[in-house]
Structure 1
Amino acid sequence: MFAVVALSLMSAVSWAQGKVVVLDPTGAVMGTTAAKAKFEKLQKSAEFAAAKTKLDGLAADIKALQAEYQKNSAVWSKEQVAEKEKKLQSLGQDYQFQGKKLQTEQQALMQQIMQELGPKMEAAVKQLVESEKITMIIDAKAVMMSKPENDLTPKVTELLNKAK
């Protein structure tokens, strides 16, 4: 029994000697000026802007039709109610399609940026592991709570911004 307690205390002491930090790799890369500039360029592109405008228009049409439906459905005939419900369903499907289209474009750009900056991020992390004597890095998404000083993400972003 004494040996188990001694071993658990020794492992706790050795654990305390190491530096454990958290890192959000996607956040570090997407926080760079290069990534922000690419997303800004995408959002200003004619095709993306047109799709976004269409999505916003669909949202307004859905909202207006829902308001009209709530206001007048009690006095409409069954045919009118069915017609409005069908139109609402159609608008909803168009809205989902446009939303997925925009999301797909953003995800493709995000994946491209991650591939471009991935090797640089790896080098930045290795540099910080050595310079700060880090023994363990945990994905920030897997951690419920962490002190800001234990978050490596801003430091990685800073090194990525400086890297050419």
Structure 2
Amino acid sequence: MKLLKIIAVSVSIAFAPVVFADKLAVLGVQEALLKSNAAASFKKSLQNELKGDESRLLELEKQAKMMREKIQKNSSSMSDNELKQARLQFQKVFQEYQRNGQELQQKRAEREQGFIKDMKPKLDDIIRKIIKDNKYDVILAKQATVYYGKGFDITPTVVKLLNK
């Protein structure tokens, strides 16, 4: 029985399709995009665009913390009605804080997706050019690669070309 298994495995290995790649590289696509001048410029403009929203969010956070601390410190000296009012005010400010935070996150994510969508055609052209110029057979995602030797990473080259 063991002999049959060994023979079956040997035969399947012998007839398994083997792929040979003469030229291989690894690429961190997201890393290349994030290290580009365009990404730095985008990040700066996004920061300026969202500055007001972020300031408002920080102010709401500060208000909510102050209200919570006030309730914690003065709850024993407040009447039930005053305590109820203070808690309602806190809840209102906290809900506004959460809503604004979610809106800010969504706005940021939408802008980032827009940036990636705008950069994708340029990135694809650069990758095609690198493949053609260097005659690569395979380009692996850097994140999915366990090990690669020196000289296989083409990410810095992609960043240079993105910056042109």
Q: Provide TM-score, normalisation by structure 1.
A: 0.70
1:7–1:154 Cα change, 3 Å: farther
Asked if residue 111 in structure 1 is aligned to residue 116 in structure 2, the reply is no
The residue aligned with 1:42 is 46
Percent identical = 23
Asked if residue 138 in structure 1 is aligned to residue 141 in structure 2, the reply is yes
Q: What is the number of residues matched between the two proteins? A: 157
Structure 1 gap ranges (5+): none
1:91–1:68 Cα change, 3 Å: same
Counterpart Cα distance in 2 of 1:10 and 1:129:
30
Instruction: Quote the offset at 1:83 in angstroms.
Output: 1.8
Secondary structure in structure 2 of the residue aligned to 1:125: helix
Instruction: Quote the offset at 1:121 in angstroms.
Output: 0.9
Counterpart Cα distance in 2 of 1:35 and 1:56:
25
Q: Computing the radius of gyration over CA atoms, which structure comes out larger, 1 or 2?
A: 2
Comparing 104-113 and 150-159, the one that deviates more: 150-159
Instruction: Quote the offset at 1:40 in angstroms.
Output: 1.0
Contact 2:60 2:96 in 1 (8 A): yes
1:68–1:153 Cα change, 3 Å: farther
Instruction: Quote the offset at 1:15 in angstroms.
Output: 7.6
Instruction: Quote the offset at 1:6 in angstroms.
Output: 6.1
The residue aligned with 2:9 is 4
1:151–1:9 Cα change, 3 Å: farther
Structure 2 gap ranges (5+): none
Contact 2:21 2:138 in 1 (8 A): no
Query: Which of 106, 122, 125 is equivalent to 2:124?
Result: 122
The residue aligned with 2:64 is 62
Counterpart Cα distance in 1 of 2:34 and 2:22:
32
Q: Provide TM-score, normalisation by structure 2.
A: 0.70
